[in-house]
Each structure stands twice: as C-alpha cells, then as structure tokens.
Structure 1
C-alpha cells in the first residue's frame, strides 16, 4: 500500500528494525525513572536540537500529542486569555478549545489564499499568548518565515506559540522567532502516532514559573522540573522516544531534508495543476504548504478518484472540515520515496487516459 495520507502517515521502513531492537535491548520494559531511560531521553533531546536546528537554550518536552500541547499551553501560560489566528480547521479547533479553558480568549480567521494579516491584527496588551498553526493540514496552507518574523517583531512582549504538526522535522523552521513550537511525530517525523514533541524558549519557561500553575498532571512548570533530570511527569511513551532517537540518528540534518521537500512540492503542484477537472485548493503560491498538497474537484470526482486509487493500493488523504467532500490531500513527507510519487503520477495519468 502506497500511503499519501497526511497523518498518521507512512513510517520509515527502518521502524520495523528499530522496534525489534527496542525489544531486544529491554527498552519496552525500562523504568521511566531508571538510568536507561534517562540516557535515552538525554540523547534524544540532544539529537532533536542538532538535527532540527533548535537553539541550545530552548527546552524539549515529550507529550502524548500536539493536541495535548494545546491544553498544556493554555493552562500553564495564560491566566486570562490567548489570541488565535487561523485559516483552517485545526487552528480554529485550538481557538475553540482555548475558549473552554479561558473564556476571554479571542480569535480571528483569515482567508486561505491570503497571508496572515499581521499588520491588521489588533491584539490587546493583556493577551498572554498568541497562537497559530504554521502548516494547516486541513487545507494545505502555511505561514511563511517572513510572516512569523513580522509577527514576532510587532508583538515582542507577548509569547508566541506555533502548532507545527505537519512541518516539524520536514522544514527548517526558524525556531528563535517564536517561544513555543510543537508537533506530533506521525507526520514529517515518519513515526507511529502517540508521541508529541514540544519546544519552549527560556522566556516561555520563565513565564510558566511566574504563573506557577501546578493544578494539572502535565503543568508546564512540573514538566520543566522533571526534564532538568531528563525525566517526565508521567509514564511516557518510552518506545516512541526510542524510535525518535533512532530515526534522528539515521536522518540527515533538516536543511537538506527541507530542500528535498521544497523541490518535490513544486513538482506536485505543477503536476496536479495541469490535470483536467481539478484545481489546486490554494491558488496563492505564496501561502501553499510544502508538506500537504490539497486538490479540489467535484464531490463525485473526488470520491471516484479515492476509490480507484484504493483499488490500486494507493491511499490518498481525505478532505477535512469545510473541504471534506470536495478535496483530497497528498502528504509530502520525508519518509515517502520519490519513486512512490512517480507511481502516484502514473496512476493519475492512467486515470485520465
């Protein structure tokens, strides 16, 4: 089965060997307070920083998912409200969830074919956390590094949190331009779901200590205190962390990976943009995602293409949210081989022949 679903996505084939090694090395039964886990955690944190180009003074935390990070950040870094900027379903869900915890939280939606309207934002001084999704999986858009820099420069005194679920470990993110970045590993990391990675600046940790919120199992200040010794507040996904370490050991540095994905995304957009009865959902090239390609067509055509593809052992991504019935999505993640995209192209060319 060729898997182009944008998460959970194709895992690296080496994962099979990694899992066998984990069993043989006793990782699956390793105590999470023991030295074996501490060494594993320390090594993994070091690799995350080196391979993903993360500043040395930033802190790394392990969670169950990116969705859990939404909760941790609102609980531990806000007393009153956060501000959410979104153009798709996942950014909007983060906003809706924040309002359940902090009813004064605010959000603004912008068009999927427009850049984030940084100059038009009116974020009040009492906002404690600005939140957005760097790569919106639901519609195949992204927020550029330049836009993030502009937001950072305009609101220097406010913490900025970025959901990078569909781009971390695929793109060379400018980590220093925001305070918190997080992702789940079932996309660009090429690993099974069940593990999240959260990256926090010294300023974010300072703010967490100021608020000193300790009312939840994964309160950020408690997570920070445990990770000083490379431990977690909870019994973690030890296997997931081991797989993450092994994957990072075997993967190139993020700068090289990013260039491969950027080049391949250009090929995919050019290919799908020329197919009859289809159009790219995101018309503005400036805001198109490099890791999730969204293609729009009639509901009938989308349904037929997905069924025919599955018959040929090709799994395409369903549409999501408002675009659920009229789009399909194609993941452009590092674990997927160039030859697999060539086979995908052959399928579509045969479909129209």
Structure 2
C-alpha cells in the first residue's frame, strides 16, 4: 500500500458530462438528437417502393457528398454492419493474386483469420502487437492489401497514406480498407483505395445493422474479370451471371432494410453538413482528442496504448495503466481495475462503456469521434481520476 497515490482527489467532482456516451460502437448520437428524428421514416413500406428507394438513394448521395467520394466510385449499403460490407469485399474480390493483411488489432486479425482459415488464400499476414504498426516497408504493391485505417480496439492508426505509394500501375493489387472508425473523422485518400467500408453505428452514432461499401472502378473491373469459384451467400453477393451486379452496386437494396435505421443515418448526415461537412467533423474530433491527450500527458498513472504519437487514433482512444502499483500487478487484476472504474462511472451516470476491448491490454477506451462534445470530454476527466482512486484501493487490497 506504500505506493498508493493518497494525494489524488477522493471527492466526487461537481460537474458531470451532459452526454455520458463514450462507447466505441455504437457511438454517441449527434448533439440534440431525439427519437423525433425518425418521425418521417417510411415504415411499413416495401423496400422496392419509390419512397423507400428514394430514401436509400438520398443516404448514398449524402454519404458521397459529406465524404467527398469521387463520382466514379460506387457507394452501396450492405447488411450486417461494417463486418458484412468487408466480408462482401473479401469474398467477392480476393484470390486472384497474393494478399497481404495488416493485423495490429482485433478486427485486422479477424480479416487475417478469414483469409487464412476460411478463404484459404495465398496470403501473408504482417502482425504487430497492440500499440504498434507492422513494418509497412514490407508491403508489396503487386499484392492485394487488406488493412484497417484505424484500429478501433488498439487505438493505433496508420499515420498517412505514404505506404500506398507505388500502386499506380496496372499491375498493382487492390487496396481494401476497413475505415469504420476513421470515416467522418479522418481524411481518406480515395484515389489510393479501391474498397472502403464503414458502418453507421461507428461513423456517426447511427443505429446498428448496416454498413457502407465503396468500390473503385478498379474493384468493379476485378468483379467483372475474376471468378473465385467459391459459393457466396446472397447477402454478400456482388455479382450476377458472372458480372458485377450493377442493380445492387447502383443502389438497389440487397435485402430488406430497416428504414428507421436509414432515417437515423439521414438525420446524422444532415447534421454533418450543418457542422461544415467533413472538415467540420474532423475539427470536432481533433478538439475532443486534444482535450483528452492533454490530460493523459499530465496524468502519471495512464498512457496511450499507441506508442508513437503520429499513430494515435483520434477516435477510439485506448489507454493503459502505467503507475508502478498497477503495472506490476497481474493482467487479471489490471483488467479488474479497469472493470471497476467502468462500473463506478456507470453507477454515477457520468460515463458508459469506457472499459478497453476484451482482447486489448487492460485499460480504458474513450470515443472521441465527431458526435462527442469536447466539453463532455473535459467534464469526464476528473471523474476518471476519482474512479481510479476509488477502484485502486480495492484492487491493491485484494492483491
């Protein structure tokens, strides 16, 4: 007990976040959201009716507008969130050539496991432990590349698109990017990406269940020229009669959608435009991250999981315990500390879902995406200090 930080605050802070939602998915709704935002949804209508098709096409058009997606790229909505969208891309496009996969967090590893164990591709997995990126100099421009832009469970992101240089020739492979916790909060170099996926629930605080799939002309060409021969379930099938299914790729529903979800996404997109489009959203995200980062830098018991500042996520910010009295504890007790902190904050109603991902190093994970307000991040920080002291007493005593 001699290392216990007795000088830390023990009284509950006087001010709480107005919106205590800091989950990394589904994320916080936009400021001012209420269920009335869904009142115009065309519920009870066929997904082939004019009004529902128009709603879906409007969502696609607004997505293209906010994210500045090139006109020649196709945007479509897929079932099963970002996972369904990315699985569709992998199952329909990969297998023609060698595939490299970057695995530096849980979902990158998931795509690698799919490639190796299920698709059984000729592939190379470039791994890195939590907090680091793989050696990007090993990337082969001739290979297809699969990677997450931002590691939602590790708080590590690629710092820029320089590692994608040299892929301009016709012999270069496709680039498949899982951008689910980067879209709407970070710049994406569209001309260097052939497939981009994300979900409403991560990107803009939307309801769960659907994802967005963006395909470049080069990806469409691969669909038309390559047949893997593998059976593909209907809900992720992008081809018809051996060619790219341009009805689906053109915006038709691949199956029945919830138009409450689509209406919610439309509401978030309209809010994004009012905030200044992508530039305004990125500014909101950067303010949130800066507020949290300043606190991390001056707080001795916590640090970023991401080791290099340029690779630190500005959305899913992952933090680890570094105080000697905690770092020396077994991982199970560190995980217990994180869980206790999360429980205390939830009981007080000041923060929900801030415990790190189950497979990540024990710690905290705080969403700083564009739908969060910097004032709420600022109000959260004294509560993190209070909960740490309260939780640590019990954990050290148990040890």
Q: TM-score, normalised by structure 1?
A: 0.89
User: Cα distance 1:282–1:35, how it changes in 2: closer, same or farther (>3 A)?
Assistant: same
In structure 2, the partner of 1:2 is: 20
3-state SS of paired residue (2:223): helix
Question: Contact conserved, 1:15 with 1:243, CA < 8 A, in 2?
Answer: no
Structure 1 stretches lacking a partner, 5+ long: none
Deviation at 1:229, TM superposition (A): 5.3
User: Cα distance 1:122–1:200, how it changes in 2: closer, same or farther (>3 A)?
Assistant: closer
**How many residues align structurally?**
345
Q: 2:257 aligns with which of 206, 214, 236?
A: 236
In structure 2, the partner of 1:132 is: 147
Work out the CA distance in 1 between the residues paired with 2:171 and 2:262: 33
Question: Contact conserved, 1:118 with 1:147, CA < 8 A, in 2?
Answer: no
Q: 1:118 aligns with which of 106, 111, 136?
A: 136
Deviates more, 1:218-227 or 1:139-148: 218-227
Deviation at 1:154, TM superposition (A): 9.2
In structure 2, the partner of 1:346 is: 382
Task: Work out whether 1:200 is the aligned partner of 2:200.
Answer: no
Q: 1:95 aligns with which of 85, 92, 112?
A: 112
In structure 2, the partner of 1:332 is: 368
Question: Contact conserved, 2:195 with 2:214, CA < 8 A, in 1?
Answer: yes
Q: Deviations over 1:161-184 (max 9, x none)?
A: 000111112223222211011011
Q: 2:308 aligns with which of 284, 292, 301?
A: 284
Work out the CA distance in 2 between the residues paired with 1:111 and 1:250: 37
Deviation at 1:350, TM superposition (A): 4.2
In structure 1, the partner of 2:90 is: 74
Q: 1:269 aligns with which of 289, 293, 296?
A: 293
In structure 1, the partner of 2:16 is: none
Structure 1 or 2, whichever has the larger Rg, is 2
- Aligned pairs for 1:1-353 (under 5 A) are 2-12=20-30, 13-22=32-41, 27-64=42-79, 65-79=81-95, 82-104=99-121, 105-122=123-140, 125=142, 127=143, 129-150=144-165, 152=167, 157-212=172-227, 215-217=232-234, 218-222=236-240, 224-227=245-248, 230-252=251-273, 253-297=277-321, 298=326, 299=334, 300-313=336-349, 314-323=351-360, 326-351=362-387
* CA RMSD across the alignment: 2.5
Work out the CA distance in 1 between the residues paired with 2:152 and 2:165: 23
3-state SS of paired residue (2:201): coil
User: Cα distance 1:152–1:347, how it changes in 2: closer, same or farther (>3 A)?
Assistant: farther
User: Cα distance 1:306–1:93, how it changes in 2: closer, same or farther (>3 A)?
Assistant: same
Q: TM-score, normalised by structure 2?
A: 0.79
Question: Contact conserved, 1:15 with 1:191, CA < 8 A, in 2?
Answer: no
